[in-house]
Amino acid sequence: MSSSSKATPPPAGIYVPVPTFFAKEGTSAYNSITPGLDLATQTEHSLFLVKAGIRGLVILGSTGEAIFIRDEERKELIASQRKALDEAGYKDRPIIAGTATQQIDDTLAMIEASKEAGAEFAMVLGPGYFAPATSQVGIQKWFEAVADKSVLPVMIYHYPGVTNNLYIAPSTFEKLAAHANIVGCKLSHGIVDDQTLIAASPNIDHAHFSVFTGLGQNLLPVLTIGGVAAIDGLAGVFPSVVVKLFDMYNTSVAKGISQSDLQEMRLLQFKICQGEKLVAKYGVIGIKEAIARVWGMGDQKGGRLPLAGGFEDANEWSKWEEIYTGLQKLEEKFRAESKSN
C-alpha cells in the first residue's frame, strides 16, 4: 500500500473483546480438554452487545483465548459472527480479528484467513517471547513487515501482561503510525503518560491512527487526551454502561462540558472502575463468570485448559455480587432509556 492511499481506522466507539464460548458439560461437543465452540451462545452474546450500542467486536483477542483456538475454528468463529451480525441488520459493525503469533508469516496467514472469514481489521499482538532482548528497532521492523503484506489494516496490540512485559515506546508508535496500513493501537496497560504521548502526539496523524484504551477504567481520562474510545472487557458484561460514558463525553464536549456533566461522568467512571477490578484480577475467567451469572449466557467454567474450571474459591463471586448487581441495574436502566428515545 502506498503512503498516498492510507487505510482507514475502525470507527470510533466502544468495542468488546469477546470471550470465546465453549460447549457445556453434557453436550455433544463437550470434552474436558478442548470443548468445541458454542456458536449459538456466541451469537446470542454478540447480538446482546450490538443492540446496546457496541460499535464492533474484537474476536480472538486475549479474552477470546486466541492461543487455544485451532485455525479451522478461527474461520468458523469469525464467519459465524459476521453472518449473524449481517443477518440481524448490523453490517456496519466491524469485526477486528486478533493474532497472537510470534512468526511473521504465520501472522500474515492468520490475517488472511480472518479476512476470508469476514473480518475487517487485524489486531496484532506484539512478539514478546524474547522481550528482554528485543530492541525498539526490532519491534518497529517486525510490525512494519507484517503491515507491508497484511491484507487487512493493522492495529498494534500492546499488552505487556501477556507478552513477557514487552515494552513498545511512544516514539516507536510515532514511527509505526506513519505506515499506510497501520491504523491504530489498543493499549492494555495503565501507563497514562505513555498513553498521552501517543494519543496527544502532534507527530501522529490521528485521522489515520486511532488510539483505543484496552482498559475501561481509563476510558474518561483517555478520551480527554485524544483517545477515540475503548476495547473493553467489562463492556462484554455491561455494554450500555460503558457506551453511556462514551456518549456522555462526546455529547458534553459538543455542547460545552458543565460542572454537572463532569460530576455525572466521574461517578459513572467510578462505578465502571469498581466492576473492572474483577476483570483486571481474573481476566477472561472473571468475564465469563460475570456473563453467566448476570445474564445466564455461557458457562462460568467454560474455558479451555489451563483456564477451565472458573473461580477456585466457590465464595469468590459473593465478594463482587453487590457491585455487579448495581451495574446490572444501571445496564437495564440505560437500555430502557435507549429504547424510549
For the question of residue 186 being annotated catalytic, the response is yes
* C-alpha–C-alpha distance, residues 168 and 147, integer Å: 16
Using CA atoms, how far apart are residues 180 and 182, in angstroms rounded to an integer?
Answer: 6
At 118 the three-state DSSP class reads coil
**Rg of the chain on CA atoms, in Å:** 19
Closest CA to 223 of 243, 207, 199: 199
Catalytic residue among 6, 186, 244, 288: 186
H-assigned helices in 12-70: 39-50
Q: Identify which of 183, 216, 315, 204 has the alpha carbon closest to the alpha carbon of residue 17.
A: 216
Among 179, 212, 219, 226, CA closest to 94: 212
Backbone φ and ψ for 175, nearest 5 degrees, come out as -70, -45
Rounded to an integer, what distance in angstroms lies between the CA atom of residue 95 and that of residue 42? 14
For 159-197, give the DSSP string.
Answer: -GGGTTT----HHHHHHHHTSTTEEEEEE-S--HHHHHH
In the chain, the amino acid numbered 92 is D
Q: Which residues of 208-245 are buried (b: 16+ CB within 10 A; e: fewer)?
A: bbbbbbbbbbbbbebbebbbbbbbbbbbbbbbbbbbbb
Which of 195, 226, 206 lies closest to 9, judged by CA? 206
Catalytic center residues: 186
